[in-house]
Structure 1
Amino acid sequence: MILLIVALCAVTIVPRIIPAFIVDWLVLPEWCVAYLNYIPYAALGVLIFPGILSAVEHPIHGIFGGLFAIALALLRVPLFFIVLGSIVFIYIIML
């Protein structure tokens, strides 16, 4: 059983560690780097959007809350106040 655990650990850790060493030698074109910079935002959007639609009774309230959070983010409001403001905003529109 221990041998199996060690083997599985080696199999999963090798593909995760090797790119960390290779990326220093790799020179990517500027368009590729720009493309890769958008991956965290896309992944975050995919994780957050379903929660926006299902967190409240009516999905439209969640959409309004998300739009309010985007507006606050564009105004460079600190993250804590974006979250707090969105919660208060949804609470008010649900009354």
Structure 2
Amino acid sequence: MSNVYAYIFLMAVVTYAIRALPLTLIRKEIKSTFIRSFLYYVPYATLAAMTFPAILSATNSHISAFAGFCAALVLAFNKKSLLTVAGLACATAFVVEFFV
């Protein structure tokens, strides 16, 4: 059981280091447009990388999941609200799952 505490402690140290080191090591403003744009898009890329596999495995059929994903993309590109996008994507996946 002592290994569990060591793992939790190590996880806490790594998590703290990831958050604290950039604050302590980088004091100046980042002037490179490449690095600034890279850091700007990191949260979006990370969210997409974590969400997309879950979308495709959320239903019993990949066809219904992909249909819901396509519906969400179309609605999002047409600047609909988040609630509308999520609701209609779920409804699309449900209807396609019902018929497949």
Structure 1 length-normalised TM? 0.76
Q: Which residue of 2 aligns with 1:20?
A: 23
Structure 1 position 85 matched with structure 2 position 88: yes
CA-based RMSD: 2.5
- Please give the secondary structure, in 1, of the residue aligned with 2:84: helix
Shift, 1:91, TM fit: 1.2
For structure 1, the 5+ residue unaligned runs are: none
Amino acid at match of 2:48: G
Separation of aligned partners in 1, 2:64 and 2:77: 20
For structure 2, the 5+ residue unaligned runs are: none
Is the deviation greater in 17-26 or in 51-60? 17-26
Separation of aligned partners in 2, 1:93 and 1:11: 46
Separation of aligned partners in 1, 2:83 and 2:26: 34
Separation of aligned partners in 2, 1:22 and 1:63: 43
The sequence identity of aligned pairs, in percent, is 24
